[in-house]
Structure 1
């Protein structure tokens, strides 16, 4: 018969308690661990539902009862007109004439119906200029006749020293109607102008609305405003409205520089939604996108806030970004928030130097109900205080349990800490190896169409492995006989918190504002144990554990909202990272981090399980089941479902390449389909559909002989993808006769025995890219295309490379005449420059696709999204 055992509360270090059978008074059945995982899954479902809730939209019929409120229904009517125009590409009739006319007439009507106390001006701007964009590649951005529609609502003070600027763009990428990117924000600004124009009382500050017509080119019209518009100098505060998804809620994801006071105004809007984690991730360069916010900040010295729609990123820059996919609640969400935000900062007094000195802002919303915000200086004080509380709680436990600090105790604490950290590292190694193995097996991105598969592939093994080593500390080969299971469990929980406390201290010292995320966990965990000790529950059987778990519910729910936001954002992005990167590593790393942060304080429970082998076996079966699913149709990464598309993206150009000698003689010409691989599965997953992929030619020789492999650049950022892309020989493309790419040298002038000026003329389509690569020992001193010439951050054969994008807005034919001044050693013979130019033809109404091109494109399955253009490329020796 089993001996009954009564725990001696007066002697928590009773050595008789060593017996594992007697330890069971504090242990729990193995199914409790599985129940916790099930509860976590249910909590995640709750978090997901909360995230989808949108405000009730107001219709035109509601306006009588809500005269000062944003009317979502009217904004939607405006957006329907814009999306019915189709793609609005810079340089197209739709963008340069149809939209500009619509906005102008609409704004004139609003002005005519405005309250007589309001003073509103409208200006149409045509901008020409250039600037150097210092990104990962570095290139010159040159624009000619790009357009802006600008509206100014004068404030009460008519202070022309610090006006507030709202910006959105009406141009789109080719193939996309641009409902979210950026149509919904354009019509939101129209409705805000209407509402402000009808107010009896003016705002204190001037409000300037910039509808810019060249953001996708990239970021040109914003520079045109900053550099050349009459109202640019007075624009000091910015609200930028963008999208990298479709519908949902608009999120504040970037602020500054150094503007915590600005975030405080936003924190009181009706539906605050934003997170500083998004800001730090975006500014890290991990995301392959940029917004006009950067231009206004870096070139206009503005302080502001950057907002974007980020849900359903699969639709971003595709034909699926359509009017039908944006619920009316999304209009109300952005409209309520931005209208209220504008009114608040429009009536605010001028910020003081003290407010400016507070540093960057930490901000995060709580389920979209309210927002917490404070400065980075406050964050340092708060984080340090909470870290001290965490440490004091640990030492309080030592005092309460009357633990003697000796070698045995330190050894136990050290080994337990090592076991905790070791388990995390083991989990990390496992999922990283798994990510590599899945990639090698051709099973990458199985979660792209079905994100829930990350649960079985990565989250389950992390949960199991990250708690395994501490579990074995209860066995005698590393079991220290001063501790009962009850106390060992509490000390393990303390040690987990101390590890995160150490992370918090390091993150605070490194000025990582996202450490607030860890601070919340430490705060609730610490106060949970303070409550346990205050109620003297530390010796109870199970009650302390219940208090500990309950104290973590709120931080776990919050951390799940951030995790959901992370996966919702990053999983669609993996479809455009390029084939050179393994996206499994990114998703595995995300799953590892969030799973450990969320579950690590709960692993104390799994280490108190009876018959824990069944818990671990169950997790292993779940993992094996999901591995098995990889070999079923459920794991196919893409979907053509119109209601929820998950397309594989492709950028395709039917290209003619021509290479000329120094004499001007054509030495080589060829044509083909240039396919830019946008994700890891391209082109392998397509080979059974597209027969021409069997004829792919290697680009290695061209990559060694020519700058950027002798291929047309869509954007300098894709330069890193060129060597991983496909060149498929084909018949020649057919170009519009009045847009044929032509290159000629008009003159060569010797300025001195070491300097020469070469005058060049290039005509062609509205989108051109110039690549200038001097020969060894040659310097390019200047070009009339830009004021100050700077090299890009990439080199070719140890030679500098100059990249210049050229975009024409109001297109009436592109004819660019420019000079290049070079410095050569005395008596230098031979060509001084490799200069190439590529032209891109993106307007469907002005391009003709040959039968061969159409036949090639028609082979792509429905679950692909192919943006197909024409391009011409010429390389010259000068």
Structure 2
């Protein structure tokens, strides 16, 4: 019986279509599946306590909406502190009642820590110094009551505060609620007694650059007993809680015991690389306690990350249940006799495990050693398969054929990368439609997906009649297995994505004779089975990747190549996800391939046309606008500062409209040049400053909530070049009413004073203590140029004349701090005079956080109320504005051994 004639391209694609639809659908369903939320505190069948989503969200709602915006230094921050102390004492009271009734080995201790401190917090290639006064943490320790049980402890952390423009329901009131509910379940579970203590830290200053976790790590007596940490965070409001950082073998093993795992080595390595725009308290625990742990966060819908709509109503049903059940399981395991906490006292084993969650609750893990063996065997086997395919061919033919096939595959990969970047150039530079994909995390698939396919097809046009279909298969197998092995030999666990593609392709290729009547043909069944798992795997990775990167990349600054970053992400996931596009392109001949190129070009053009007419923003995917009402006490001027952190078109038009409505000009002035000496935006420093990179040290490090480049100890005295700015600011003059008397001069009188000042003429130094008074102001910043020899901020000031920024965060009602330093004088400045820019944020001048007391916010709040209403009406709710009232003054001092105002 003669072999049947192969089906044509259209018919074949129709047959394969169900696979291309089914696999992503399974991945999406898996990603969106969350546990059913529980409302009751106790299981009706077992009568045992259970995690309750209703209880968790009740706590989150109270913090985020009843108390409100809990920015460090505000009255609401103090109210949250009081509430948290009450909740901790309630837990202690319940615990003591249970012990009295049952005699269980259980002890609950409550500690409210209060302290001062300072630390260096390098980010975005900048040196930054933090100081804080009277900040607090609330800590609960649950143990069996013995000294032995408290010797090795598990630290569980979340933060009570929220950042400036956000009520922080998910970030991080949700985590606070999870920890409270976990404590309730633990102490009410009959028979439960921890072998190792659990320390629940409710730190009170993460958003001010991790001051609360620094305070605990460096000053609390329980900190040295912590052996591992579970850090709970949120950068979104939907989806499963993602494990994005696991720093030891022991903690990866511990995570395998959660009921609903959701973590991969890919997320772990991506975050460790530093390209994610986020950092957490985990940094302080690693640096100052030297402990290992797990960093977990809700990351879906990160459009609401640090935005006003981070509200309980926008937290997806089931999120709290998922986070609570996983956290409870980890706490139970790590405080049990099976835990590795005691072992961790002697040091953690660096992570050397490939781990991932596949479909459902399947958590797969294997060691790097096992991975190297498996990948090596697979690579060897693919070479055997490739050779067997050509067993009848002359030995001199095999290698040239495989080389030609490898060139064709590499050309396909190159085309897949180049074409979407060409589309990005067209959208950004030709059509001026940057970020057109922003409002939907999966929109980039529609914009750049056709371009990836087009690039792959075009790359095969010249080789379509030269390279055979089967040869391309065997080349693909060997290349993917080889890449997996090479990456794993470099101890990069993410190489498993190529292994997970190569393995099913190899299996179905070996089985192809069972599906095909002609041994020279590859059956469509082989294509269908071979393509299913690569598409499924790629979809499982692509969905969360886009959910995280699309919103955050869209806010990395107007000069950042956001469109190209997203285009490259789509291309990178397409290559291992759709490996059979290239051999399929060779299956039907040159004419069919040309028709495919034409059809794909039409789809690509249609996609560009659609997105060029698309608005990147809507009321749930908003443009972030930064607004500062600045009162300069030194010059008696007032300005409105406007900035955006994206490159979407239309910002200049919006600024012009705002200027005409609220300013004193007919049109907006030119954008302001930002650098380290422009102090107008020091409240947001270094987010406001341009990013630099040392050409000889292009390493990435993380920075809190910001994309960062550079390295710890970055010095301005290197070979550096400017990269890009996050903010594109405008400075608009405002009218000052006649006879206006600034309350910051007449009433509140914030100032900088030298309370001790000594000059050593022989040594050429000036030793002084500077007192900064800031009644009514929070998050103050001082910036100055000096050659600092010694100060109390750290032990290693830069040994050069340099620009310094010192940011302060203190508890509500704390109105001063002191900075001690020794500076070097010079011939040009023999008295060591200082020119200091001093800025602070009005505690009553933040909109909408302080709208209920707007009358106390002076001119800034009156303007913000009108501006916010105008923005909502004119933009249709597509803009979320951070509205801050700042006060600035500049002081030049003179040297005098007596007490004086600088």
Structure-1 residue corresponding to 2:379: 387
Secondary structure of 1:287's match?
coil
Change in 2 beyond 3 A, CA 1:341/1:127: same
Describe the superposition over 1:530-552 as per-residue Cα deviations: whole angstroms up to 9, x where unpaired.
3336x595944756442243033
| Deviates further, 845-854 or 308-317 | 845-854
Task: Deviation per CA, 1:206-244: give whole Å up to 9, x if none.
Answer: 111001111111111001111111100001110000000
Corresponding position of 1:623: 604
Q: Equivalents in 1 of 2:727, 2:313: separation in Å?
A: 38
User: Is the CA contact (8 Å cut-off) linking 1:156 and 1:203 kept in structure 2?
Assistant: no
- 1:223 matches 2:190: no
Pairwise CA distance, 1:828: 4.9
Cα separation, 1, equivalents of 2:543 and 2:584: 24
Do the aligned partners of residues 619 and 433 (structure 1) sit closer, same or farther apart at CA in structure 2, a change above 3 Å counting?
Answer: closer
* 3-state DSSP of counterpart to 2:870: coil
| Residue 872 in structure 1 maps to residue 862 in structure 2 | no
Q: Residue 724 of structure 1 aligns with which residue? A: 728
- Structure 2 equivalent of residue 859 of structure 1: 870
Q: Does 1:239 align with 2:235?
A: no
- The alignment status of 1:459 with 2:449, answered yes or no, reads yes
1:772 partnered with 2:784: yes
Does 1:372 find its partner at 2:364? yes
Whole-Å Cα distance in 1 between the matches of residues 10 and 152 of structure 2? 64
- Counterpart of 1:662 in structure 2 is none
Q: Residue 819 and residue 201 in structure 1: after superposition, are their counterparts in 2 closer, same or farther (change >3 A)? A: closer
Aligned to 1:74: 55
Structure 1 position 749 matched with structure 2 position 758: yes
Instruction: Kindly state the Cα deviation for residue 760 of structure 1 after the two structures are TM-superposed.
Output: 2.7
What is the deviation of 1:594?
A: 1.0
Q: Is the 8 A contact 1:702 1:710 kept in 2?
A: no
Kept in 1: contact 2:557–2:727 (CA 8 A): no
Identify the match of residue 354 of structure 2 among 347, 359, 362.
Answer: 362
For the residues of structure 1 that align with 2:114 and 2:781, how far apart are their CA atoms?
A: 21
Query: After alignment, is 754-763 or 434-443 more displaced?
Result: 754-763
What is the correspondence of 1:508-527 to structure 2 with a 5 Å cutoff? 508-527=488-507
Taking the aligned partners of 1:358 and 1:745, their CA distance within structure 2 comes to 48
Q: After TM superposition, list the pairs within 5 Å mapping 1:56-455 onto structure 2.
A: 56-60=36-40, 63-66=43-46, 67-83=48-64, 84-101=66-83, 102-115=86-99, 116-117=103-104, 118-136=106-124, 137-155=126-144, 158-199=148-189, 200-256=191-247, 259-347=248-336, 348-350=338-340, 352=343, 356-357=348-349, 359-399=351-391, 402-406=392-396, 408-440=397-429, 441-455=431-445
Alignment counterpart, residue 586 of structure 1, candidates 561, 565, 573: 565
TM-aligned CA deviation for residue 42 of structure 1: 4.7
Instruction: Specify the SS of the correspondent of 2:209.
Output: coil
CA shift in 2, pair 1:689/1:40, >3 Å:
farther
| Alignment-derived partner of residue 674 in structure 1 | 641
CA contact (8 A) 2:418 2:455 kept: no
Which residue of 2 is the match for residue 788 of structure 1?
795
Q: Residues 156 and 755 (structure 1 numbering): CA distance in 2 closer, same or farther, change over 3 Å?
A: closer
> Which deviates more, 228-237 or 463-472?
463-472
How does the TM-score come out when normalised to structure 1? 0.86
Q: Classify the secondary structure of the residue corresponding to 2:223.
A: coil
Aligned length: 815
Q: 2:150·2:225 contact (CA, 8 Å) conserved in 1? A: yes
**Is 1:502–2:472 an aligned residue pair?**
no
Aligned to 2:825: 824
2:441 touches 2:551 (CA, 8 Å); kept in 1?
no
Question: In the TM superposition, what is the alpha-carbon distance from 1:819 to its structure 2 partner?
Answer: 3.4
Query: Contact (CA 8 Å) 1:139, 1:791: kept in 2 or not?
Result: no
Q: Which consecutive residues of structure 1, in runs of 5 or more, have no partner in the other structure?
A: 8-23, 481-487, 659-665, 793-797
How far apart, in 1, do the equivalents of 2:684 and 2:543 lie?
32
User: Displacement of 1:418 after TM fit?
Assistant: 1.5
Matched residue SS, 1:750: strand
C-alpha offsets along residues 387-408 of structure 1, whole Å, 9 cap, x if unaligned?
A: 3333333233333xx22221x5
Quick one: distance in 2 between partners of 1:207 and 1:687?
52
Q: 1:400-457 deviations in whole A, cap 9, x for unaligned?
A: xx22221x54433323321221232133222212212211222111111134432332
Tell me the equivalent position of 1:838. Answer: 839
For residue 587 of structure 1, report the CA deviation from its aligned partner: 0.8
TM-score (norm 2): 0.84
Could you tell me how far apart the structure 2 residues matched to 1:541 and 1:495 are? 16
1:514-553 alignment to 2 at 5 Å? 514-532=494-512, 535=514, 539-540=518-519, 544-553=523-532
Pick which of 431-440 and 38-47 moved more.
Answer: 38-47
Corresponding residue SS for 1:310 = strand
Q: Is the 8 A contact 1:255 1:305 kept in 2?
A: yes
Correspondent of 1:805 among 800, 804, 807: 807
Contact in 2 for aligned 1:741/1:872 (Cα 8 Å):
no
SS of the equivalent of 1:770 reads: strand
Contact 1:125–1:147 (CA under 8 A) maintained in structure 2: yes
Distance 1:748 1:839 in 2: 25
**1:485 equivalent in structure 2:** none
Moved more, 754-763 or 30-39: 30-39
RMSD: 2.9
Distance 1:638 1:35, change over 3 A: farther
Give the superposition deviation at 1:196.
1.1
Partner of 2:707: none
Whether contact under 8 Å (1:155, 1:207) holds in the other structure is no
C-alpha contact 2:656 2:667 (8 A) present in aligned 1? no
How far off is 1:741 after superposition?
Answer: 3.8
CA distance in 2, matches of 1:361, 1:801: 43
Deviates more, 1:421-430 or 1:217-226: 421-430
Name the residue aligned to 1:469.
459
* Alpha carbons of structure 1 residues 153 and 424: separation in structure 2 relative to 1, 3 Å: same
Whole-Å Cα distance in 1 between the matches of residues 294 and 249 of structure 2?
Answer: 10
- Distance (Å, rounded) in 2 between the aligned partners of 1:97 and 1:710: 31
